[in-house]
Amino acid sequence: MIKLTFWMMALAALPGSALQAQNITGNWQGTLPAGPQKVRIVFKIALENDKLKATLYTVDQPSAPIATTITRDGSTVKMAVPALRGNYEGKLSGDGNSMAGTWTQGAPLALILARATPENAWTIPEPPRPPVRMAPNANPAFEVATIKPIDPDAKDGRYITMQGNNRFIEKSYTLKLLIAAAYDLNPRTISGGPSWIESDHYDIVAVTPGDVRPSHDEQMSMLRSLLTDRFQLTFHREPKVFSIYEIEVAKSANPESKSGSKLKESTAAPTDPHTVGPGVVYPQRIVLPARNATISELASLLQRAILDRPVVDKTGLTARYDFDLEWAPDETQFGGDVPTAPTDAPTSPLFTAIQEQLGLRLVATRGPVDALIIDKAERPSAN
């Protein structure tokens, strides 16, 4: 009886939160029904200094671990993922081996989490390696490329990406959009050529040379070579006046500050990889990550892929920055390919978001742009 009393006293002396946390530490896995896709996720829950700590991993879309906050009140477990603006609330089952709850990120989705065991645990993939630069002496041309005409009405999305270090993928671009991407132009500044350059759509799969991943600029150099070789593209340039946006530093609300910029300089070396995008499309919002990027690179992406007119960098900022720009898209952006957010969306429109989050602003005006006039273009040669 004395021994039993001793153990009861010892247990009572432990913090209640520690006992609770010990019951749910480990990996909890579940599948989110995200439209036609199923997204497998894993929450890794640990106990540090008598406090619960959680981290989110995606199984089928390898990414860096995502910081998560967690609280527990009896059988109710709540987790928040600020980077995704997502929240989960679930109830522990009687045996403590599952949670039934709801994931909320826009529309709520039912999500059942099961405690992983050695027999059924999903393998958490290693985070993707950062892109590495092509060797300086590499030949900036694709080793081989396949160009395939596709149905222009296909709803498979439009994008350019790299798979691994050597596989260049382009999906559902017209020749005009390929030219805009390759030469860093807004499509409105491209004219001339046969009518099919705006109606025929193509998929391209190409292999890049070397053992390292080419930078964005190197990929576009290879694409320019392909346009010349396979589409027989020739053109000339002329200055023309267009409706444009100028991106400039917003005036500071603080009269003692000379600049309203809210940007934080990157801690990466200037020679490290630098990226703007690709943007991540969520219901009612888009998140555009930029790492070690200049404002000129942001302006380039805005004009060639997002906005409906050229964008000229007038900020005078030359440093490199890290930021995540988040906004609610409208019908004028991405050529209408991205669903428009409702007027009551919780995220600000693009023009407001740029000023609120970056301390910059887009100003509509007219100005000269070096336009591209197509002299010759032919449908692509056989693969």
Distance, CA of 258 to CA of 57 (rounded, Å): 42
Alpha carbon 19 to its chain's center: 39
Q: pTM for the whole thing?
A: 0.60
pLDDT at 13: 40
Per-residue model confidence (pLDDT) at position 238: 95
Please state whether the peptide bond connecting residue 310 to the residue before it is cis, i.e. omega within 30 degrees of 0: no
Where do the CATH 2.40.128.120 domains begin and end in the chain? 17-115
The pLDDT assigned to 135 comes to: 60
Low-confidence ranges of the chain (pLDDT < 70): 1-22, 34-37, 62, 128-139, 155-156, 252-260
pLDDT, residue 23, reads 79
Q: Rounded to 5 degrees, what angle do the CA atoms 264, 269, 271 make?
A: 125
pLDDT at 193: 95
Task: Quote the DSSP letter at residue 2.
Answer: H
Would you identify the CATH topology of the domain 17-115? Lipocalin (2.40.128)
Q: Alpha helix locations (H) across the chain?
A: 2-13, 16-24, 175-182, 216-230, 295-301, 350-353
Measuring CA to CA, which residue among 187, 137, 129 is closest to residue 162?
A: 129
3-class SS shares of the chain: helix, strand, coil, % to 5: 20, 40, 40
DSSP 220: H
Both structure tokens of 44: 């890794």
Residues in CB range of 99: below 8 A, 6 or more apart: 28, 77, 90, 91, 92, 93, 112, 113
Radius of gyration in angstroms for the set of CA atoms belonging to the chain, rounded to a whole number: 26
Question: One-letter amino acid identity for 302?
Answer: L
